[in-house]
Structure formats: structure tokens, C-alpha cells
Amino acid sequence: MCETAFQAIAVGCEILGLDFLNHGRLGYNSRLLAPKVPVFRKLKEIIINKQGVSVVTTARLHMGFFDLNGDLGRRFGSIGVSLNQPATELYAWHASTFTAEGPGAARAVRMARKLAESLRLEGGMHIRLVNTIPEHSGLGSGTQMALAVGLALNRLHDLGLIIRDVAMLTERGARSGIGLGTFASGGVIIDGGRGAQTVVPPVIARAEFPEDWRIILIFDHTQTGVHGEAEIAAFRNLPQFPADAAAILCRHVLMQALPALAEHDLPAFGAAIRELQVRTGDHFAPAQGGRYASPRVAEVLAWLEAEGVACFGQSSWGPTGFAILPDENEAERVMARLQALFSRHGALEFLLCEGRNEGGVVSDLPETVAVV
């Protein structure tokens, strides 16, 4: 059933009126040109070259895998959505060495150096980070940082790289192509997981996220999600996911989630996402401590379920939770209740977001005079 689901997705997308792979090369060479943006007032680095670049990219929700079994020759496969915030925003210029300032500076420099060594580039790059997506929160911060730094370097050196090239060079997209797809085009992304010859998981479907729907993010600032060696160990040590459960989840994605997006049917979309969340969350429970990584977030999600919210869950390994509401008025009402009820948890924070139906933006900066 899962194989049939994969083969039918392209036809299903056409029938449902979804935007199917209109971006070429597996959806990873999106339009990266954008209107020029103003340069900020003062630089803190001596710039060798007057050319500069800015990159803006946003967080994503990873809502779940639908084939963790893999006995058809492909494993993983996932669904996620691009958010309008939080965002990673940076400016970059040629410089004599690799330096950075702002949140996540050390991580950005490591990525830039790794790329330059792989590409045998001379010189360096100075990066000014204005905002970054919270690290290890389940919102795809590492992939978006890697793409932002890599595509900035690409633009400065005119290397002709596309998104999947940067992903390969920075070892992103090991199990999921959601973050690569959201940078390319935004919207709701479905990737086809990994097969024996897969370089990065291919985007096999894309849909617009309904404009009226709103997303509440639930942060727990006392925890980080499973990552690094712990994540690798979790996938190595967890038992095999049942093939019949994977087949059911593929059916929910193809015959429930995708049509629901086309028809703006939040209860049906929520039912599909809940099925993914329950089955994969319980599978990952030994590695993350329960269906959800954070007990505080779990308490909020239980309240949302009791209140009849149709769509909720945990993004990736968490600890960040999410809820999707039908419109802004309902989202603001629920936000107010959450803040009143859970203010005793000083570590919890709530953020009202929208889906983003556009990809990341790479822009040339106007020429500037170097300032020390």
C-alpha cells in the first residue's frame, strides 16, 4: 500500500490542483533572486570586496514520518510546513578570514569554513547574524543555517550551486527533505524518504498552506530535542516500525492530508496529522521519554485535545509543540487561554505564526564603503 501511495502522489496532486514540483531539479533550485534590500548602517569588519548578500529563511514544522519501516526499499518519508517565523536572517561580505557576529556566530563560522574547504575557496567571509531559529528545538535551525551560509557563499563567489548541492556539502537532509523543500518554495512539503541511491530525500508533493489557518508554537526553554549522536543512536536502536502501520500512515497522507489541504478542511487534515503523531511519537518514546519530549508541552497538548482543537503535536524531536487553528480570531482566543492557564510554567512560551508559501530569499546588497 505504501508503494502504491508513493506512486500515486504525483497523479493525486494534479487531480487535487496542488503545485507539483514546479521548481525543477526536485524542487531545490527555487527562485533565489529578490529585490535589493537596504544595507545596515555600520559594519564592524574590514571588507575586501564591496559586494554583499543577505539571506532570510524561516523555521519549519516537521509533522511526522509516514514510513519508518522501509521494507519497500525507501525509508522515512515525511510531511511538514514552512512558518513565517522564527527566522534566520544574515548579511555576508567577502573578508580575509571567516568571522561572524550575532546569535549562532560560532555555528555559522564552522559551516562556512567546512564549505570553503570542500570547495577549495580562497579568502573568507564576514557574517552578521540578525536573527536565528532556536537551536535543537525541532524547527530545523541547523538545515536553515547551513542553507543560508552556503547560499551566501555561493552568491559571493558565483559558484552556481543550488539548494541540494549545499545540502550535500553540509550533510543536511540525512533523513528528511522538509527543510530543503521549505527553503525552495515554502508551503506544505512531502518528501519521499531515502532509497539506496538517494542523495537527498526528494520532494514529491507541495501544497499551499491555507492563508486563514494560524499556528501556535509552544516552546519549553528548559529542554532541547534529541540531536547529534543521541539522534543517530535512537534510529539505530529503536525496533523496526511495523509495515502495516506504515501502510496506514501512507494512506492518511495521500487520501486525507493532501485532499484536506486542497479543500481547506482542517478537521480532516488534523486527523491525518494526529495519526502520524500518535504512531511515530509512541515509536520514539523510548528515545525521547514519552510520546512528547517535554512533559510541560505534553500538558498543553492534552489541554488542547480536551478543548477540541483539531490539529496539534510535536515538531520533529521537539521539544516544541504546535497547534493549528482555523483562523486568527480563534488562534488569538486559544493563545489568551494558554497564557492564562500555563503562566505558572515560566519556561513555556507561546508564539502565534502563519504558514509561509514562499521560499527563502537571497538578495544582493547595494555596494557599500568598508567601515572599521
Longest dimension (CA), the chain: 63
- Distance from C-alpha of 360 to C-alpha of 343, rounded to nearest angstrom: 34
Out of 231-240, 271-280, 348-357, least confident range: 231-240
Model confidence at 225: pLDDT above 60: yes
Residue 345 confidence (pLDDT): 75
Residue range 314-331: average pLDDT? 97
Q: For residue 367, what pLDDT band results from cuts at 50, 70 and 90?
A: low
When pLDDT is cut at 50, 70 and 90, the band that residue 368 belongs to is low
Contacts of 49 (CB under 8 A, 6+ apart): 93, 94, 156
**What percent of the chain shows pLDDT beyond 70?**
85
Question: Which residue shows C-alpha cell 500500500?
Answer: 1
1-42 per-position pLDDT tens digit: 444 443 443 333 433 333 333 333 333 433 333 333 333 334
Give DSSP secondary structure letters for 297-349.
Answer: HHHHHHHHHHTT-SEEEE-TT-S-EEEEESSHHHHHHHHHHHHHHSTT-TTEE
pLDDT computed for residue 154 by the predictor: 96
Q: Is the pLDDT of residue 67 over 50?
A: yes
Kindly list the distances between the CA atom of residue 360 and the CA atoms of 12, 155, 223, in Å, as whole numbers in the listed order: 27, 14, 28
Cα–Cα distance measured from residue 216 to residue 355, given in angstroms and rounded to the nearest whole number:
11
The 10s digit of each residue's pLDDT in 144-164 is 999 999 999 999 999 999 999
Of the pLDDT bands very low, low, confident and very high (cuts 50, 70, 90), residue 179 is: very high
The answer to whether the Cα torsion of 248, 251, 256, 261 is positive or negative is positive
Tell me what pLDDT residue 286 has.
92
In the predicted structure, residue 296 carries a pLDDT above the cut 80: yes
- DSSP secondary structure letter of residue 280: H
What pLDDT band is residue 219 in, cutting at 50, 70 and 90? very high
Cell digits for 10?
504525483
Residue 213 reports pLDDT greater than 60: yes
Average of per-residue pLDDT across 111-121? 95
Q: What is the pLDDT of residues 90-114, one digit of tens each?
A: 999 999 999 999 999 999 999 999 9
Mean pLDDT of the chain: 86
Domains of the chain: 2-365 (3.30.230.120)
**Average pLDDT rounded to a whole number, residues 317-338:** 97
Cβ atoms of 95 and 124 closer than 8 Å: yes
- Look at residue 208 and tell me whether its pLDDT is greater than 50: yes
What per-residue confidence (pLDDT) applies to 233?
83
pLDDT of residue 229: 80
